[in-house]
Structure 1
Amino acid sequence: MKKKKKNFISLLIVLAVIISIAAFGYSAIDSKLSKLNTTKISKDPSNLGIDTEKFHSDNASTIKENYVNILLLGVDSIDKSNGTARADSNIILTLDRSHKKIKLTSLMRDMLMNNVGKKSQDKLTHAYAYGGPELSLKVINENLNMNMQNFIKVDFRSFYKIIDTLGGVNVNVKSNEIASLNKYIKEVAVSEKKTPTYLTKAGMQKLNGIQALAYCRIRYVGNGDFERTERQREVLTAIFSKMSSMNISEASNLLDTILPNVETSLSKRDILSYASYVFINNIRTIEQFRLPESKPGYSTDKMINGVFYLDWDREGNIKDLHQFIFEGELN
């Protein structure tokens, strides 16, 4: 089980910081949440690709109450080689009230999906480019038989600003990663009109925001996207280590950095409700999953018209996904 991807770290911080300042007072949090960019999407389940028969059965209300599923989107606003930003990070965030834990399911960006906009098949990452968050929700719901009705989206710029607000993070950089890392440092710095600060050595060292972002973007060193997810875990651990020592004032300032860069379909009431539930129940367990799985036969590299796709076994992956998220409660 592995998690993915670059902006998933930023998205978790949004939730964690809101929880950490819950005692700060409703009015203060409500004021800060007003800085969110709210986007309305369809509330019609059929427009979001939800199987109404499956999720409107006798136990549907129990499933909806016990397992809140939200799509987290990390959008690559720096690399627009195809002219449109793509969602390179697609993660299902599950608030499991039945077992009092949080679950994260990462979906590989190159997964071959059916009915992606006007195309009968295409990569998952392209769904956002074709139709924004609503199409991303629809494609994932249809292909994975899920019931998500809301999303949270951040881009790269919020990520590196968060790291800088934290004062950097300590990361163990391998010698074979330096050349690729410096390439991405230059790319991000140029995009942000900043002077790049390159790394000159391997080993444990403090990375600033742009350097940490570049580290998370390394893709062609080691085992490709799969190893990139391992880098995310290392950065995530470093971030939460620093956050654990933050006081209320520091956490409040971090929200000021994050929230203007977040777009969501969730209402302030929903956000406060979910964050309060996590805080009141002292939920600290975070379980992780990834699709496609690493089981033999569960994924296959596929070339279509010279383009790489990650094909996957529908039956096995979906069965295991539903078991991970709903733990046998979804019929």
Structure 2
Amino acid sequence: MDSYRSRAAHNERVRRKKQRKKHIRIFILILLLFIMAGVFLILSLVNKIDEIKNHPLEQVSMNEGLSDPNLKDFTNIVVFGVDSRANALRENTRSDSIILVSINNKTHDVKLTSVFRDTYTRIDGHGYTKINHAYSYGGPDLAVNTINQNFDLDVQDFITVNFSALSNVIDALGGITLNIHKNERKWVNAYARDVAKINGTSYEKIKKPGKQTVSGVQATGYCRVRYTKGGDFTRAARQRRVMKALMTKAKHSSPLKLYRVLNEMLPQIYTSLTTQEILQLGMYLPFYDIKTSRGFPYKLDCHRASDGIYYDFPTTLTSNVTTLHKKLFDTKNYTPTKTVQEITAGMGY
């Protein structure tokens, strides 16, 4: 009897051992499949990165005497949204939106700053005019230089997107959540129809106001609305809301969905960022936390100049730049460079 029990116990141990080995083999097989899938996705993504329209900023400089010690702790990237029906990204098109993305390299906090496109600025070789003309005159090089010179910044990178890129990325994420107000709805639908025509896609009308998930075409239409109270200022605020909603949705998306987003986005952007920098930004995406979203200049006077054109005049540029460095980089009592002071004097304020 004891011999029978001993053999049974032995057989049970052998059976369990075989089961464990089988489970281990299955686990290893699944792990290998995941690794192979990951390698495939990474290689595929790297191939997509090779399709990026890359443009290193070789002629970008900062103002002489710029001495904000906190700047070194931040990565500043300017995002240009171009109003290009022909989907041109390089130049000969005005920047419909200019958003400065400031990333704290230590805390990963992100601050978004819209530069109002009608802001009165000095552009090298073109005198004083609206800041959104800089991209048309000289592409991203001149546009980034204009931002650095007028605002005492050290922006070294840019990303340019157009209607198609924005709407396609949002669709790849499964849409974003926006609160569409009653006075915005008809304009969103009108602009969405225009965007759909440019992209060669269909669109659905937003049927009622309120918080809802919108498609890429609808969100892009929302970005373009300017015929409501506040005009271009509320339009810039809408653009920041879309960027914030997009980043938040991406932050909480699965790796597979992010892969689809990057797969869709990368061939459609124009940027100075290298492959390594793009991958690094993507790696830190889950840790980014958008803290503030503001428009710039903080204080301005909108009126018609002697040339008969309306501009947003900073009041004054020097005081706005001092406040900008405080809000973005926590720099107290920043003193603008001589370049900014000279530009301010030339404005007549």
TM-score, normalization: structure 1? 0.77
How many residues are aligned here?
A: 291
Correspondent of 1:50 among 62, 66, 73: 62
1:151 offset after TM fit, Å? 1.4
For residues 231-246 of structure 1, the aligned pairs below 5 Å read 231-236=238-243, 238-240=245-247, 242-243=249-250, 245-246=252-253
SS at match of 2:200: coil
Q: Per-residue displacement from partner, 1:153-173 (whole Å, max 9, x unpaired)?
A: 111111111122223334332
RMSD of Structure 2 on Structure 1 (CA): 3.0
Matched, 1:252 2:224: no
> 1:10-56 CA deviation, whole Å, 9 max, x = no partner?
xxxxxxxxxxxxxx5765654442232111332xxxx434124325x
CA contact (8 A) 1:79 1:85 kept: no
Report the equivalent of 2:231.
224
Describe the superposition over 1:128-155 as per-residue Cα deviations: whole angstroms up to 9, x where unpaired.
Answer: 0010000001111111111112211111
Q: Give 2:208's aligned residue.
A: 201
User: Structure 1's 249 and 310: CA in aligned 2 closer, same or farther, altered over 3 A?
Assistant: same
Give 1:291's aligned amino acid. Answer: F
Residues 74, 90 of structure 1: 8 Å contact kept: yes
Where relative contact order (Cα < 8 A, 6+ residues apart) is larger, the structure is 1
Find the partner of 1:211 among 192, 197, 218: 218
Q: Distance in 2 between matches of 1:192 and 1:180?
A: 18
Aligned counterparts of 2:248 and 2:75: Cα–Cα separation in 1: 27
Alpha-carbon offset, residue 201 of structure 1 = 3.1
Is 1:299 matched with 2:308?
A: no
Show the 5 A alignment for 1:109-258: 109-114=117-122, 116-236=123-243, 238-240=245-247, 242-243=249-250, 245-258=252-265
Whether the 8 Å contact between 1:117 and 1:130 is mirrored in structure 2 is: no
What is the aligned partner in structure 2 of residue 319 from structure 1?
Answer: 322
Q: Give unpaired runs (5+ residues) of structure 1.
A: 1-23
Q: Distance in 2 between matches of 1:167 and 1:100?
A: 25
CA contact (8 A) 1:49 1:139 kept: no
- Unaligned runs of 5+ residues in structure 2 are 1-37, 336-349
Q: Is residue 78–residue 158 contact of structure 2 (8 Å, CA) maintained in 1?
A: yes
Match of 1:284 among 289, 293, 301: 289
Distance in 1, matches of 2:52 and 2:65, equals 34
**Structure 1 pair 179–287 and aligned structure 2 pair: CA distance change class (3 A):** closer
User: One-letter code of the match for 2:309?
Assistant: V
1:236: Cα distance to partner? Answer: 4.5
Q: How far off is 1:245 after superposition?
A: 4.9
Q: TM-score, normalised by structure 2?
A: 0.73
**How much does 1:242 deviate?**
4.2
Cα gap change, 1:271/1:255 in structure 2, threshold over 3 Å: closer, same or farther? closer
Change (3 A) 1:290 1:274: same
Distance 1:211 1:117, change over 3 A: same
Asked whether the equivalents of residues 188 and 210 of structure 1 are also in contact (C-alpha less than 8 Å), the reply is: yes
SS of the residue aligned with 2:66? Answer: helix
Within 5 Å, give how 1:76-95 maps onto structure 2.
76-78=83-85, 84-95=92-103
State the distance in 1 between where 2:209 and 2:285 align.
39
Query: 1: CA distance between counterparts of 2:215 and 2:110?
Result: 28
Counterpart of 2:189 in 1: which secondary structure?
Answer: helix
Aligned with 1:51: secondary structure?
coil
Q: Match for 2:114 among 106, 110, 114?
A: 106
* Aligned-partner SS, 1:54: coil
Superposition deviation, residue 194 in structure 1 = 3.2
Instruction: Name the residue aligned to 1:264.
Output: 271
Bigger radius of gyration, 1 or 2?
2
| 8 A Cα contact 1:101 1:287, kept in partner | no
Equivalent position to 1:328, from 310, 319, 331? 331
Contact 2:92 2:139 in 1 (8 A): no
Contact residue 159 and residue 272 of structure 2 kept, 8 A: yes
Task: Report % sequence identity.
Answer: 29
Offset of residue 219 of structure 1: 0.5
Offset at residue 301 of structure 1 (A): 0.8
User: In the aligned structure 2, how far is the partner of 1:269 from the partner of 1:165?
Assistant: 23
Moved more, 98-107 or 245-254: 98-107
The alpha carbon displacement at 1:196 in A equals 4.3
Check whether the contact 1:182–1:214 (CA below 8 A) recurs between aligned residues. yes
Q: For 1:272-331, what per-residue CA distance to the aligned partner results, in whole angstroms no more than 9, with x for missing partners?
A: 34554x369x343533343111xxxx2001212221110001111100111223322877
The structure that is helix-richer by fraction is 2
Task: Tell me the distance in 1 between the aligned counterparts of 2:241 and 2:60.
Answer: 34
